[in-house]
Amino acid sequence: MSSALALSRSAILSGSAWTIGTYAASVVLRFGSNVMLSRLVAPEVFGMIAIIVVIRTGAELLSDIGIGQNIVNNPRGDDPAFYNTAWTLQILRGLILCVLCCLFAGPLAQIYGAPESAIQLGALTLAVLGTTSTSLCLLQRRLRLPMLTMFDLTLDFIGTVTLLLLVSWSPTIWTILLCNLLSSVMRVVASYLMPESRNRLCLDRRHLGEIVRFGKWIFLWSMVGFFSLNVDRLYIGTMVPLALLGVYSIARTMAELPAALAGRLGHSLVFPLVSAAGDMPHERLRREIGPIRLGFLLVAAVGIGGAAAGGDFIIRAIYDPRYALAAAMLPPLLLGSWATILCTTNEYVLIGQGRPKVGTVASCIKLGYLLIGLPLAFQVGGILAALTILVTADMVRYAALLIAQLRTRTGFGAHDLLATAVLLATLLLLTLLREWFSLGTAFDGLSHLRGGNL
């Protein structure tokens, strides 16, 4: 690919609009279903689902060799021999992961107190999703974001409606897991209704080598990223009852929404655009991406600042008293998600440039910080001290990324500093406004966590 495929402002704006719009609709669906599920099932079920999702996600990421990223990034990604080789690897990977999860379900069930058969049922989605057509990766490569985002939104809507209908009839963990499996089947079937959806089994030796060479850093990045994102659930899940883990998961899920949007923008838009830019000079790349990125960050800063200042109201208004502690956890977790957004928007630029090694090293530093700090903090100061470690972990990761980017003059440090100042100003202004009306602050609930466990 050459710099002839230059980034156009209209392409970035159009892709951003589609991604943000469909993601917002998806968030409304998921958030609404989450609230309704909280009234249909017990907190213990949320805790078990959190553990099963972490196990399944871990299996996916711990074996990720960047199959989709290879199709998007490689110059021969639209060659049938290349993407059919990638598709064959994807099928084999899904089957192997499913078998391994089923074999280790017993020990994992003993550690976390979740049913062994529930873990095995959750693992079936790995085998099913492994057969997904490469058509979705080719759509991403060609930046056909309207079709790709509407595909995701339509399936989210169908899956959410199905889930709520079935859970209202049978509010058990088995119903939720069966709905997840059904959603996976629908996604696979729908992927073969998209353009360029035909695949056949193929293992081309040359293309296999290319996939593995690029994928080794994606593998390390995904592996370290998984542990750094989920070490809190993995650790807390062994320390507290499942009901309390379910309460924490509610707050964590809400706090992750802004970072998830940044991740979707990075994966669906920034990564393929930077990959298409090829040998474009770094300075020009910064000029093309910088203004749009800054605009997104400023909007996100105001949103997160406002949500952190009043998020406790949302929890108390929507969830019943069983989830009251989530109101105290949400504000600091939201502030921690800001650093995650900064990291994500920088990492996908680096991956698009073919430099996933930098993100891997940064995530390793964050993981080390969590592995050392989280158990110590939890033992000394309970959940409040642990939250402090979680909130600051991505700041450590961001520092490592920024240093690497400054060396190649591809960083956006000034933009990040400006957006952070806007977030803090928004938070301070709204907090003072709450105090003026004698409404307290969003952080008053932290006193209930001091010195105690979840």
Tokens 């109201």 sit on residue? 313
Tokens of 171: 């509010």
Which ranges in 9-144 belong to alpha helices (H)?
Answer: 9-40, 43-61, 67-73, 80-103, 105-112, 116-129, 135-141
Q: How far apart are CA 392 and CA 396, in angstroms?
A: 7
Tokens of 55: 């196990």
75 in Cβ contact with 205 (< 8 Å): no
Report CA-CA distances (Å) from 369 to 222, 225, 360, 375: 17, 13, 14, 11
Tokens of 409: 């003059």
How far the first Cα of the chain sits from its last, in Å, is 51
Please report the pLDDT score of residue 269 as a whole number. Answer: 64
150 in Cβ contact with 268 (< 8 Å): no
Report CA-CA distances (Å) from 75 to 67, 240, 313, 354: 14, 49, 50, 12
Q: How far apart are CA 71 and CA 428, in angstroms?
A: 45
Report helix, strand or coil for 263: helix
Q: How far apart are CA 93 and CA 100, in angstroms?
A: 11
Q: Determine the distance from the C-alpha atom of residue 242 to the mean position of all C-alpha atoms in its chain, rounded to a whole number.
A: 22
Tokens of 417: 């500093």
Query: CB under 8 Å to 77, separation ≥6 — which residues?
Result: 70, 71, 83, 137, 138, 141
pLDDT tens for the chain, 454 residues long, are 334 344 455 555 566 667 667 777 877 787 778 778 877 887 778 778 878 887 877 777 665 667 777 787 777 878 888 889 989 988 988 888 889 889 888 888 887 777 888 888 888 988 898 899 989 888 878 777 778 888 988 998 998 899 989 988 888 889 999 998 999 999 999 999 998 888 888 888 888 887 877 777 667 767 777 777 777 777 776 766 677 777 888 888 888 888 777 777 666 666 666 666 556 666 666 776 777 778 878 888 998 999 899 888 888 888 878 788 888 888 999 999 999 889 888 877 776 666 777 877 888 898 899 989 988 988 887 778 888 898 899 999 999 888 877 776 767 788 899 999 999 999 999 999 998 988 888 888 777 776 444 4
Amino acid at position 442, single letter: A
- In the DSSP assignment, the letter for residue 267 is I
Q: How far apart are CA 159 and CA 180, in angstroms?
A: 8
Report helix, strand or coil for 320: coil
Q: How far apart are CA 235 and CA 112, in angstroms?
A: 10
Nearest CA among 113, 138, 184, 139 for reference residue 19 = 139
Q: Which helix (H) or strand (E) holds 228?
A: helix 205-236
Report CA-CA distances (Å) from 182 to 36, 117, 119, 163, 259: 20, 17, 16, 10, 27
Q: Which DSSP string corresponds to 154-171? A: HHHHHHHHHHHHHHHHS-
